Amino acid sequence: MQNRKLGTGNLEVSALGLGCMGMSFGYGPAADKQEMISLIRKAVERGITFFDTAEVYGPFTNEELVGEALSPFRMQVVIATKFGFKLDPNGGPQWTGLDSRPEHIRQVAEASLKRLKTDVIDLFYQHRVDPEIPIEDVAGTVKELILEGKVKHFGMSEASANTIRLANAVCPVTAVQSEYSLWWREPENEVLPALEELGIGFVPFSPLGRGFLTGKINENTTFDKTDFRNTVPRFAPENRKANQAVVELLKQIAERKNATPAQIALAWLLARKPWIVPIPGTTKPNRLEENIAAVSIELTSDELHEIETEASKIKVQGARYSESTAKMAGR
């Protein structure tokens, strides 16, 4: 496994990370805990050193899973978690709003440290920008946590270029996480140029389009009733049918490279910039192996040009979030 540096923040991680959310939350019922511990440890054995979780995944259960799975390897790995949601005080499964008040950030940090069985959080992301709290206050609070030795690096998720600049002026931002893949390329407009200028790493989540770019989903696929893709306009059956054009493009390249569509989707991201580290998630050992193998696939300049040319002809159908969720992205 190759390593990459996330910007100039001196945080070195495997070229591919592992997004752990789907093991506990979001894509149907939680997977078997022991099987997921085994999967996470398999990832470590295969050279993955970068693991992504958040208090809201579950809530809380995903951090507990990641903490238990990685405790024997704690010094070898980088754990990223997140703050910024207001959770149901009665223990319900849904967040009830945003909360990046300084006192709340501190509360989340202390609780996350316990669940992750660690004395320091390697990368602490603001999960979504809270319009009620000045970003300078958020960055200042994380800066204090870094000075106290409880956090090593500050990250942001789904933030606008302007907000990233304001935060970075107070506390250096090591990495920004946003959705990015061949079927969601908005970060290219303003965020990626800002990150390159500021020396900040980029961590694409949903690099396989929430499973769609694997080629295993079509208009007839049904999701579990608790799978959040049921609420995503892009996953409406008619949009899934229209969006197969993106998968067909990946398949064409994959056949020539003796690879899978998922591997080409990941190889394309890795070829974009040397400071981009995708975090595909999976609950299946064979998919883990498939994703890891993408790191060794090199796309030629001609192939990258072909992907660019053909992708530009495809208009992806459907919004990536429901209207209520979309309001929180890119602030």
Given a contact cutoff of 8 angstroms between Cβ atoms, the answer to whether 178 and 188 are in contact is no
pLDDT band, very low/low/confident/very high, at 226 (cuts 50, 70, 90): very high
311-327 pLDDT, tens per residue?
Answer: 999 999 999 988 878 77
Q: 120's torsion region: left (phi>0), alpha (psi -120 to 50) or beta? A: beta
Kindly state whether residue 331 falls inside one of the protein's structural domains.
no
How far is Cα 23 from Cα 306, in angstroms, rounded to an integer? 35
Query: What residues have CB less than 8 Å from 28, skipping those under 6 apart?
Result: 223, 224, 226, 227
Task: Return mean pLDDT, the chain.
Answer: 96
Distances (CA, A) of 110 to 141, 151, 167, 184, 204: 13, 10, 22, 34, 27
How far is Cα 74 from Cα 58, in angstroms, rounded to an integer? 22
163-186 pLDDT, tens per residue?
Answer: 999 999 999 999 999 999 999 999
Kindly state whether residue 236 falls inside one of the protein's structural domains.
yes
Q: Residue holding tokens 């606008």?
A: 160
87-141 pLDDT, tens per residue?
Answer: 976 666 678 899 999 999 999 999 999 999 999 999 999 999 999 999 999 999 9
| Identity of the amino acid at 193 | P
pLDDT band, very low/low/confident/very high, at 9 (cuts 50, 70, 90): confident
Full residue range of the structural domain in which residue 205 is found: 3-326
Say whether the peptide bond before residue 274 is cis (omega within 30 degrees of 0): no
- Active-site positions read 57
pLDDT for residue 330: 77
Encoded tokens for 3? 């390593």
257-284 pLDDT, tens per residue?
Answer: 999 999 999 999 999 999 999 999 999 9
The contacts found for 233-241 with CB under 8 angstroms, 24 or more apart, are: 233/318, 233/319, 233/320, 233/321, 233/322, 234/183, 234/316, 234/317, 234/318, 234/319, 234/320, 235/210, 235/318, 236/318, 238/317, 239/317, 239/318, 240/212
pLDDT for 305 beyond 70: yes
Kindly state whether residue 263 falls inside one of the protein's structural domains.
yes
β-strands 18-19, 50-52 pairing: parallel
How far is Cα 93 from Cα 249, in angstroms, rounded to an integer? 38
Residue percentage of the chain with pLDDT more than 90: 93
Kindly state whether residue 281 falls inside one of the protein's structural domains.
yes
44-71 pLDDT, tens per residue?
Answer: 999 999 999 999 999 999 999 999 999 9
Residue percentage of the chain with pLDDT more than 70: 98
Query: What residues have CB less than 8 Å from 244, skipping those under 6 apart?
Result: 218
Q: Work out the burial of residue 27: count CB atoms within 10 Å of its CB; fewer than 13 is exposed, 13-18 middle, 19 or more buried.
A: buried
CATH of residue 275's domain is 3.20.20.100
Q: Is 284 helix (H, G, I), strand (E, B) or coil?
A: coil
Encoded tokens for 304? 């990258």
pLDDT for residue 329: 80
Kindly state whether residue 213 falls inside one of the protein's structural domains.
yes
201-213 mean pLDDT: 98
pLDDT for residue 91: 65
pLDDT band, very low/low/confident/very high, at 253 (cuts 50, 70, 90): very high
Kindly state whether residue 310 falls inside one of the protein's structural domains.
yes
204-211 mean pLDDT: 98
Kindly state whether residue 37 falls inside one of the protein's structural domains.
yes
Length of the chain (residues): 331
299-321 mean pLDDT: 96
pLDDT for residue 93: 66
To the question of pTM greater than 0.85 for the whole model, the response is yes
Tally of structural domains, the chain: 1
pLDDT for 235 beyond 90: yes
